[in-house]
Structure 1
Amino acid sequence: MVKYLPWIGMVLLAAALAWVLVETPREAQIGVIDLVKIIDESPRAQELNRMLMERYNELVAELNESVGEETPEDERADRERQAYSAYLAYRQELEAQLQVEVDEAVRAVAQDQGIPLVVDSDVVRYGGKDISGEVIARLK
């Protein structure tokens, strides 16, 4: 048994070396997203934009109905401010909703592809894997 000990040691050493070579650490990928592209090309973003335009048109129609030629200028300005405030509140609500959906899509794509870090393309000069297309596909 003692005479086989060096051979057993060599086999174990070879197995350890093979395991180390096979399991070499890979560089962590960095995901890159182009937020402008995602917003421009995403059907979901376009749907939310359409909803915003519909709300804008409703508010303009309501304003035009409630304000006539004889309405005092200060009352007219007050109603315009109220309509604009309602428009901005709705816009912020839709933007927050889209941001949550984009964040969820980015997280899902990154997890599926094993990407531990995703940054906006505005801050990347070189490298990274663009996952914008996959994020757009998830937002449908």
Structure 2
Amino acid sequence: MKQANSKICKQITISIAAFFAFGMFGVLTPAPVLAAKAKNEQTIGYVDRQQVFSGYPGIQEIMQRIQDLRAEAQKDYDTNTKDLPVADKKAYSDRLALQQAQREDELMDPVRAKIEAAIKAIAAAKGLHVILDAAIVIYGGTDITADVITKVSR
């Protein structure tokens, strides 16, 4: 009986050792799982949005317009809040800031929309399912920045 238990223990030990050895080399991993893993690695792309914005046609004029609007808002604030109490100055400043943000959004929303549409189109054309910002990518993925710049420049 002792011998039978020893033989069973030996067989279990060999089976466990073989399982781990084959498992480490991927022999027990089904081919479809390996293929899906490789496919997923190929479906991630990234884009440097800062570079795309910098390369956007007419962005310098848009940014200059935003700077002009900010200067106008500052001049408005300085002119109209000279004699106001602190609480009223704060309310006036908040109102101007809200108006400024709305104006900036009106100028930038078409730019953002065109860039996002270009990113989606390039991703679809390349079969990429996930697009990340280049600032967070450490390794791997497909860089689509140049393609996006080309598409928004048309």
For the aligned pair, the TM-score class normalised by the smaller chain equals 0.5 to 0.7
Partner residue of 1:105 out of 118, 124, 128? 118
Q: 1:72 aligns with which of 84, 100, 122?
A: 84
The verdict on how the C-alpha distance between 1:110 and 1:46 changes in structure 2, with shifts beyond 3 A counting, is: farther
> Is the contact made by 1:31 and 1:115 (CA closer than 8 Å) also made in structure 2?
no
**Letter of the aligned partner of 2:134 in structure 1?**
S
Does 2:51 match 1:37?
yes
- How big is the shift at 1:56? 1.0
CA 43–106 in structure 1, closer or farther in 2 if over 3 Å, else same:
same
Aligned match of 1:81 in 81, 84, 94? 94
TM-score scaled by structure 1?
A: 0.59
Query: Are the counterparts in 2 of residues 106 and 135 from structure 1 also a CA contact under 8 Å?
Result: yes
Map residues 1-140 of structure 1 onto 2, 5 A cutoff.
28-68=42-82, 71-74=83-86, 75-112=88-125, 114-117=126-129, 118-140=131-153
1:43 match: secondary structure? coil
| 1:54-105 Cα deviation digits (max 9, x unpaired) | 211222233334344xx23333333222212211233344454433221101
Percent identity, aligned pairs only, is 19
Distance 1:47 1:130 in 2: 28
**What amino acid is aligned across from residue 115 of structure 1 in structure 2?**
G
Whole-angstrom distance in 1 between the partners of 2:139 and 2:84: 59
RMSD: 2.9
CA contact (8 A) 1:32 1:132 kept: yes
The residue number in structure 1 matching 2:34 is none
Alignment gaps of 5+ in structure 1: 1-25
Q: How many pairs align?
A: 112
Highest RCO, 1 vs 2 (Cα 8 Å, sep ≥ 6): 1
